Amino acid sequence: MIVVATADFELYHEAVAELRSRGVTFTTIEPGDPVPERARVLITAPDDDVQTDAAVSRVTATGDDARRAVDEALATLRGGGGRMVVGVDPGTRPGIAILSGDTVVAAFHVPLADAVDVIRQETHDAIDPVVRIGDGARLQGAKLINDLDEVPVELVDETGTTPYLGSGARGMGDVLAAVNIARMAGDPIESREIEPTDGELQRIKARSREQSDDSRTIDDELARRVAGGELSIDEALDEHRTREE
- The answer to whether residue 193 sits within a structural domain is no
Instruction: Specify the pLDDT at position 81.
Output: 59
Q: Do both 146 and 232 map to the same domain?
A: no
Report the CATH number that the domain containing residue 37 is assigned in CATH. 3.40.50
- The answer to whether residue 169 sits within a structural domain is yes
| 143 closest CA partner among 226, 234, 233 | 226
Q: Do both 46 and 70 map to the same domain?
A: yes
Out of 5-9, 110-114, 170-174, 206-210, pick the least confident.
170-174
Which burial class, exposed, middle or buried, applies to 28 when counting CB atoms under 10 A from its CB (0-12, 13-18, 19+)? middle
Q: How far apart are CA 46 and CA 13, in angstroms?
A: 16
Strand partners, 104: 99
Report the number of distinct structural domains present in the chain. Answer: 3
- Tell me the Cα Rg of the chain: 22
Which of 170, 188, 206 terminates a domain? The answer is 188
Q: How far apart are CA 94 and CA 69, in angstroms?
A: 25
Report the CATH number that the domain containing residue 145 is assigned in CATH. 3.30.420.140
Q: How far apart are CA 204 and CA 211, in angstroms?
A: 11
Out of 44-48, 64-68, 101-105, 177-181, pick the least confident.
101-105
Q: Do both 52 and 119 map to the same domain?
A: no
Q: How far apart are CA 180 and CA 80, in angstroms?
A: 16
Q: How far apart are CA 153 and CA 163, in angstroms?
A: 23
Q: Is the Cβ–Cβ distance between 143 and 198 less than 8 Å? A: no
Q: Is the Cβ–Cβ distance between 205 and 230 less than 8 Å? A: no
- Average of per-residue pLDDT values in the chain: 89
Which of 53, 77, 101 terminates a domain? The answer is 77
- The answer to whether residue 29 sits within a structural domain is yes
Q: What is the mean pLDDT of residues 18-29?
A: 89
Quote the domain boundaries for residue 60.
2-77
Looking at residue 198, its amino acid is D
- The answer to whether residue 117 sits within a structural domain is yes
pLDDT band of 101, cuts 50, 70, 90: confident
Q: Do both 128 and 73 map to the same domain?
A: no
Residues 6+ apart with CB under 8 A from 214: none
